[in-house]
A and B are shown apart, each in its own frame.
Chain A
């Protein structure tokens, strides 16, 4: 009962957020300098008077603003995010076609960062003044300070000239044949560098966070209890302490999802990864506003979905939230 109620409230909340993003998109079209019809057509679409008139009619641009908002929201909620005149295709199709690679990249980078990061954090907490610990600190400070596209370019240079073992561009090799399995392997092979670039910043941050919370937890009373009942040190670290230390990592990873998508935009551009980021880059060059706004909307959807998932995961890992309401 309470669980369904909770889920229902969360979903309603998510729906309101989605509406809010659409309203923002609508406002942006109208706040932008110039005729909204021009904005919708896109500056470089070479819009004719005929097209503009058509747009004005579809979006009711000669009617009062609230009617226009109503039209816009209704159309958007029916899945019509407008037409890209630059690509000559519906925005929804464009965005949907590019979402997969972005989700693959972001999910891989995030899981890699969370798992390897927490593991390194646990290792570092075992010897707070050891090599792993020092490395984690250095990498996290550098990763935090270096522009992510710059890190990516360094890797491109490294793997283009010094060790040319990983592909530095695109998602797969179109010249290579083979079946489905070969294609999957090829995609994973191309995924290595982009995911590494995107993941390593967060990996170091999570490692640092895990180390800090491990150090605090290892001094806590319940760890003493675990030792007092004869639990081996490996299990004290890997089970009793880690189960508590991942809680802040889950929270932060959820909060950072938006910033990971931002990072993905840059990383995709560096590695020509055919996702939403490269689409955004291309449509900005073309001043294709409907597509850009569609990407903003869709990536916000991804963040909202990620927040919902984080919420559920947190409920699974922290019993205090589960029953506390």
Chain B
């Protein structure tokens, strides 16, 4: 029995993904990040069942500080709406924008980076010029222009964030493809007649995944920050209740009531912190050499 168990251990430790998962569980940053994200998700998805208050409803005097009344434990905003209800109901929209914008960013980035790194030459030159061009435009200003020109719905906001943030991912993917494309196993695949498409998506991409997963995690966090920034400037979707919207609406009242902006800002901070820490943990897990430091 003991012998069989130990042989399983050997098989397990040979898989790099299992190895990374084990390393991730040992990284305090990664585990803390997971813990924070679980808390945030529980708070915003399970919270409504325990605290069924409409965040749009005016329930008390405007700008009531936290703890002043039982009806609004975390106080009210400038219209007299319940802050706690806002925090609970504002989560899904923010997370949704973060995830969708993150997916758009990563998809464009991987497509551009993979083709540039794989085909090199003219294709690379052309795609990198475009990437460089997008990096010249200050991302937030560009997103502001896009959202202003079109209607600020949750989809336009996600798309705008995706359009302005993909260059970093593209550069990373390209670097990985340039590194891997000349390795032995890629040549081996080519020598048995594999098509380019197969080599790109089935041979090179899986081997470039580790840094891309780290980047994707961080990208979701950055997208959430972006959404918050746009909302702060009044460019969020006015029909979706989000933390960003609370911040944008309460911005002018910070000196009248610190809680109006501080609390939703803190929720955003916590969420992004969760993603950043998970990203750090994944980075440690995928780079055993750095773990010693």
Contact = CB atoms under 8 A, between A and B. Distances in A.
B130 to A, nearest CB: 9
Contact of A141 (B136, B247, B261, B276): B276
Interface residues of B, number: 42
A89 interface: no
B225 A261 contact: no
A156 B233 CA distance: 17
Given A255-B135, A262-B139, A307-B136, A280 B144 contact: yes
Given A146-B272, A153-B265, A261 B141 contact: yes
Given A261-B141, A284-B234, A285-B234, A147 B229 contact: yes
A269 interface: yes
Interface in B212-234: 221, 225, 228-229, 232-234
Contacts of A39: 149
B136 A303 contact: yes
B133 A20 contact: yes
A296 B145 CA distance: 8
A156 B258 CA distance: 10
Interface stretch (A4-12, A26-34, A220-228): A26-34
Given A145-B273, A153-B254, A266 B138 contact: no
Contact of B265 (A150, A269, A284, A307): A150
Interface string B133-162: 101111111101110111000000000000
Nearest to A17: B136
Contacts of B293: 128, 215
A144 B275 CA distance: 11
B235 interface: yes
B255 interface: yes
A293 interface: yes
Contacts of A147: 225, 228-229, 232, 247, 265, 268-269, 272
Given A28-B145, A144-B276, A258 B229 contact: no
A292 interface: yes
A84 interface: no
Given A145-B221, A149-B229, A300 B138 contact: yes
B132 A17 contact: yes
A299 B268 contact: no
A284 B254 CA distance: 21
B82 interface: no
Contact of B138 (A32, A150, A262): A262
A266 B149 contact: no
Given A128-B293, A141-B276, A160-B255, A281 B233 contact: yes
B69 interface: no
B158 to A, nearest CB: 17
